[in-house]
Structure 1
Amino acid sequence: MKKQSDKIEPYYPEKCPVIRALDILGGKWRLAIIWELSRFESMRYNELKRHLVGITNIMLTRSLKALEQHRLVTRKKYCGTSPHVEYSITESCKYILPALEIINEWGKARVKENSID
């Protein structure tokens, strides 16, 4: 058993995988973006924005860029008669989905509990 006087080394993101994961996925919108993109093969920017009620253009753009940098989301640019951009989750990101499904079920249970009160 450790004594209180023993020096406790703080956890740093590079040393603790949970903190590192939360650093990457943190933020109000990142998990919501991943969740919405997981429901579709790919989505255009405005389509994704319509699914995320309350998100601003700046926040969506910043969140998508951050997710791209961490290789969780891909951005595909289409040139042609109607140029557009589509976003989709990567294979690496698909490993997160079982955890999000558990969180989704937990959230449903909380909503149900609150509606009983």
Structure 2
Amino acid sequence: MSNTIIPFSTARLRISEIDFCGWLGQATPGDCLEYHRGFLALDGMPMATRLPPKDRTELLKLGRRAMWAAEQGLAHLVQRRHGPDDFSYLAVARRKPKSSPVSLSALLAEEVA
């Protein structure tokens, strides 16, 4: 008999992409938001997640939006490990770039277009 450990996902959808954008727009530097708890890489996969399909799709959008925020210099993304396959995914707000006169809503609208 093998000692293979089958991971149990603690994932559940905590916030939506829209909630994340709202937080990002109002956050002050240093504010921290846990936007997911579980194992993001697995929780986004149809065969590995315990999330319902609608929540999995929303989680993928949320993950992409968090990465976008980091690429725009709006947030740092960090992880806190709690145990095997159990992480808190955190966004830490950064100071808004002074060189960019464009608002967050304008950046989001530009991306959609």
TM-score, normalisation: structure 1: 0.38
| Relative contact order higher in (CA < 8 Å, ≥ 6 apart) | 2
The structure with the greater share of residues assigned to helix is 1
TM-score, normalisation: structure 2: 0.39
